[in-house]
Each structure stands twice: as structure tokens, then as C-alpha cells.
A = this chain, B = another copy of it.
């Protein structure tokens, strides 16, 4: 590892902080990279917990003040893994300090914060990326590639659903996930992934109509009931700039649906379908083929010829969730110091604008143009 060292500072030691930490450790072991990441410092509000995380994950030091991460001279990349409501402030500070920024999705809980975050990285001209890790899953990267190759023809219909049972138990106590200002809406938390994939594969979303419901309206927290202002479930009709139409659904109250998301596109030539419950498979129906083999192909999306497979296991072993974070870290580090980082925070902002349009459409029970929400006046 004679590549130059690159200091990593991670803000947040929860699930994402851990996944990102492991990713930096594995990335240079899986792929030849021009920079060698070093886990310098991790921060978190709970001192004992962050000390433990720092020790087990292999950081050089820890702190309970995220501003120390941002300010650290030996940190080159600030990786933001805190709840959504805190992202903007940290991104702004990191950008101001001249650090490159990788921010977990969704970019913010409020569109205004997302705007601020993007303005900050632009002002500071720092490299920046948003953590849409599923783009790094071979099956989804292959889906994008096949669409770009024209394998489905002109996209007409898009459908995506992200169903979980995370909120189905009414006994789960209130925490930040149930407060929109901290945890963001379910539209944003789950939907951001799907909206990003839709934009990436099919193009700009221009308008939406939607509905939302919160079935369990209060939860207890230390003995008292607190209101839940995050949606349990939402659904939206979408219009794309290119003429396609779509349907999006996000829900966290689907019993025995752990983390089941599906994405499908129907073009004038073919169909592509992905189901995260079988994350190494991609289904492709090619309408241009002669009908005697009428049906769909189940592609094992982990062949060496497929994107995002470099450095991984032999065909048939699967390349999964953890690997997406490693691929993400590797893709970013591979561009160090001069290549382009993608998707960047501006993509995160676009997605956030769609999320907020969906929320407004649901609240006002009417079709809303994304432009209406995105324009400065609206913000």
C-alpha cells in the first residue's frame, strides 16, 4: 500500500458509520486504488459508545464533538453518517473547512437544508458525494447499463416500491426516526433510493400526486406518549420529463417484509425488473426476440463482465449489501484526487426536491410540479 494516505473522519457511529468504516478498510484490499484510506477519527454524542466503536472499527481516535472531525488537519474526507436532520450543518462546516464530503442519504430532512448543503460544497469547491449505495449493486448497475444500451427501448412505465416492517409494531418506542425534522419522512428515507434510481435510469421527474398515512400516530417515550409526524406509508404517481409515467410506494408497516424493494421499467422494446430480496438477480424480458422462447431471463448479475463486480467473489457466490459500500468507497477513492465523484450532493438535492413535492402533493391532495417546489420562491 504505497499509495498516498487519505484521512477519513466519520461523523456518526451507528449502522451507517459502521458500514462505511468497514468499506474503507476493504476497498483497497479489493481494488487497486490511488489513495490509501486511514480511519482517523469517528464522532458520536455518546462518549462511551463512540469509544467502543472507535476501538472495534479501528479508528485512531474518537470524539464526542463532530466539529473536531471537521476541523482535524489529518482528515481529508468527512463522511456524514448521522440522522438526516443533522446532515446540512455538518456538510456546511466540512465544506467550509475544505474537506471532501460523503453524505449519507437522504441529503436532508427539509429541502431548504439540502439547498444549503449543496450551496456550501459549491461555494467551497470541495469534492462531494451522496450515499446512494444501491447504484453500486451489480444488478442495479447492470440495469442502468442495459437501459442505456437500449435494451428496453424508450422507457414508458416505471414502478418502484420499498416495503419494510420497521414501524409495524406499535410497541416500538418513540425515537428520532419518528420525528420528521430529525429522521426525515419515509418518502425521503426509503423513497430517496428509488427516486434516485428512477432519475438515474429513466430521467427527470417533473410532477407528482401522492397520498400518505400514519397509522400509529403516537408512541411512548419514557412513559409519555409522543406524536409521530413521519408517514408510515406513502404512494405517488409520477410523471417524467421524457414522457414516461411511474408509480412509487414506500411503506414501513408491511408485516414480514423486511426490506423488500423492487424496481421495474417497461420500455417499448423490453422489460427490466429487480427485486432486492434476490439482490444478485436481474430479470430481463426482451420483446425483440422471436417468441418461441417467450419469457424473461434471470440474469445472475455478478458475472465478471457486469459492472461493480471487480475484485469480488467467483460467479455464483453473490455480491451484496456490504459490498455496495465497499464499491462506493472504492469508486470515490479511485477518482482521487482529480476525477469526478458521482452521484454528488446536487443529485441528492434533486431527489430531495422530488420527495418534498410528493409530501406537498399528499398534504394538499393535488398534483404538484417539482419545479413549483424547487424554485427559490417555494423554498
A50 to chain B minimum Cβ distance, whole angstroms, is 15
Residues from chain B with Cβ under 8 Å of A163 in the complex:
266
Say whether B247 contacts A247, CB under 8 Å.
yes
Say whether B245 contacts A266, CB under 8 Å.
no
* Chain B residue at minimal CB-CB distance from A251: B157
Residues from chain B with Cβ under 8 Å of A56 in the complex:
1, 28-29, 32
Residues from chain B with Cβ under 8 Å of A113 in the complex:
none
* Chain B residue at minimal CB-CB distance from A367: B365
Count A interface residues, CB 8 Å.
93
CB-CB contacts of A277-292 with B at 8 A, as 1s and 0s? Answer: 1110110111100011
Say whether B318 contacts A279, CB under 8 Å.
yes
Residues from chain B with Cβ under 8 Å of A267 in the complex:
255
A286 to chain B minimum Cβ distance, whole angstroms, is 7
A204 to chain B minimum Cβ distance, whole angstroms, is 17
Residues from chain B with Cβ under 8 Å of A245 in the complex:
211, 213, 233, 235
- Near B by CB (< 8 A), chain A positions 220-278 give 232-233, 235-237, 239, 245-247, 249, 251, 253-260, 266-271, 276-278
Number of copies: 4
> For the complex, what is the distance from the CA of A366 to the CA of B207, rounded to whole Å?
13
Say whether A296 contacts B297, CB under 8 Å.
yes
Say whether B235 contacts A287, CB under 8 Å.
no
* Chain B residue at minimal CB-CB distance from A163: B266
Q: Is the interface of A mostly helix, strand, loop or mixed?
A: mixed
Say whether A259 contacts B295, CB under 8 Å.
no
Say whether B303 contacts A313, CB under 8 Å.
no
Known: A259-B315, A278-B278, A293-B297. A254 touches B237 (CB 8 A): no
Known: A157-B254, A249-B247, A295-B256. A58 touches B266 (CB 8 A): no
A266 to chain B minimum Cβ distance, whole angstroms, is 4
Residues from chain B with Cβ under 8 Å of A323 in the complex:
322
A115 to chain B minimum Cβ distance, whole angstroms, is 28
Say whether B255 contacts A270, CB under 8 Å.
yes
Residues from chain B with Cβ under 8 Å of A161 in the complex:
159
Say whether A257 contacts B285, CB under 8 Å.
yes
A254 to chain B minimum Cβ distance, whole angstroms, is 4
A141 at the interface (CB under 8 A from B): no
Interface residues of A (CB under 8 A from B): 1-2, 15, 18-19, 21-22, 25-26, 28-30, 32, 55-58, 152, 156-157, 159, 161, 163-165, 168-169, 209-211, 213, 215, 232-233, 235-237, 239, 245-247, 249, 251, 253-260, 266-271, 276-279, 281-282, 284-287, 291-300, 303, 305-306, 313-318, 320-323, 365-367
Known: A211-B239, A294-B315, A297-B298. 20 other contacts (CB 8 A): A22-B30, A32-B56, A156-B215, A156-B253, A157-B251, A159-B249, A168-B287, A169-B287, A235-B237, A235-B247, A236-B237, A255-B270, A256-B296, A258-B316, A278-B278, A294-B299, A313-B321, A322-B322, A365-B367, A366-B366
Q: List 17 A-B contacts (CB under 8 A).
A: A19-B313, A22-B29, A25-B26, A25-B29, A32-B56, A159-B161, A233-B245, A255-B269, A257-B266, A276-B316, A277-B316, A281-B295, A292-B306, A296-B297, A296-B298, A317-B321, A322-B322
